Amino acid sequence: MKKLAVLTIAGSDPSGGAGLQGDLKTFERHGVFGMGALTLLTVQDTRGVQSVKFLDPEFVRAQIATVIQDIPPQAVKTGALGSAEVIDVIAELAKGFAFPLVIDPVIASTNGVVFMDDDAKRMLVKKLMPHAAVIMPNMPEAELLSGRSVKSHDDFPEAARAIADLGAKAVLIKGGHLEGEYSRDLLFWQGRELWFSSEYFDTRHTHGTGCTYSAAVTVELAKGQELAKAVENAKAYVTRAIRTGLDLGQGHGPLNHGAIDRNSQEEAQRIR
């Protein structure tokens, strides 16, 4: 039996909600074959990241080069990458990618542990970002990438344009940090501004939201969806996963990667 294959290049979250572990659960949930190349290791639980260890760039390069020549993926995503040197080797490999690349520019953990220093950020923008089909910053990441203040939805279009001007083909700024009735994200793509809106849930259990969202966009692109539809479907999935988030651990519990769409006939049959 043939299956679509996707690859995440990301850090390890041993608590299982975010990072490479969260990505693989998202891939599995969408029925594609997930592969994972590790860039960094963390010690963390639902309360936060305690420490981080970056992997050697050559070791990261070898993981990626080895798996993609054996099982060519239909799409790839990057998460937490660590050093400028690691980003450099991924950018070199990305020149040869014949499939879409999704970048989740993970700069720091929610509790402030740094995954990308200033050199790494510069390398990401200059060398890796031009290869991406889309880059998906949250509001603090959009501020750092654009050099502009991003405090409200009104700030999204200018910041997205500024990031596009740096060489991104498409920019999705995620508004999940703003509380309100709706969670609103802006996709700036082909000169257009497209807004995506979903119900906002006031919940603590959101660990892994960014990773899961970008993993779901990656799957949709692997399936051949055009970008706007990919974002729409991925956001619907993440919203379901947040709505049914898991009360696990003593901090921010993980969202529910296994969330199903009860309106979908196909999914209802699969779980019966």
Per CB under 6 A, residues contacting ligand PXL are 10-13, 18-19, 42, 44, 49, 79-80, 106, 109, 210-211
Q: Is the dihedral of CA 161, 163, 169, 172 positive or negative?
A: negative
In the complex, what is the shortest distance from the CB of residue 132 to ligand PXL, in angstroms, rounded to a whole number?
Answer: 17
Which one of 211, 235, 239, 253 is the catalytic residue? 211
Query: SS3 for 70?
Result: helix
Q: Which of 210, 212, 218, 253 is labelled catalytic?
A: 210
Is 191 a residue of the active site?
no
| Rounded Cα–Cα distance for residues 23 and 29 (Å) | 10
Closest CB to ligand PXL among 28 and 193? 28
Q: Which listed residue (206, 212, 218, 239) is catalytic?
A: 206
What tokens were used for 245? 């988030």
Q: How far is the CB of 209 from ligand PXL (least distance, A)?
A: 7
Smaller CB distance to ligand PXL: residue 12 or 256? 12
Phi, psi of 5 (to 5 degrees): -120, 140
Closest by CA to 190, choosing from 128, 134, 121, is: 134
| CA–CA gap between residue 108 and residue 79 (Å, rounded) | 11
Is the CB of 61 or the CB of 77 nearer to ligand PXL?
77
- Which among 26, 46, 209, 239 is annotated as catalytic? 209
Q: List the structure tokens of 85.
A: 């040197």
Angle at the Cα of 147 (from 142 to 153), degrees rounded to 5?
45
Which is nearer to ligand PXL, 105 or 189 (by Cβ)?
105
211 is catalytic: yes
Write down the least CB distance from residue 114 to ligand PXL, Å: 11
* Active-site residue, 79 included: no
Q: State whether the Cα torsion 145-100-97-103 is positive or negative.
A: positive
Cβ-based nearer residue to ligand PXL, 11 or 73? 11
> Is residue 121 flagged as an active site residue?
no
In the complex, least distance from residue 11 CB atom to ligand PXL, rounded to whole angstroms: 3
Q: Which is the catalytic residue, given 16, 208, 245, 253?
A: 208
* Token pair recorded at residue 139: 């509001």
| Active site (annotated) includes residue 210 | yes
For residue 272, with 0-12 CB atoms within 10 Å meaning exposed, 13-18 middle and 19 or more buried, which class applies? exposed
Position of tokens 């975010």? 18
Residue 79 Cβ vs ligand PXL, minimum distance, rounded to whole Å: 5
Known catalytic membership, residue 206:
yes
β 182-189/75-78 pair status: unpaired
Catalytically annotated residues: 174, 206, 208-211
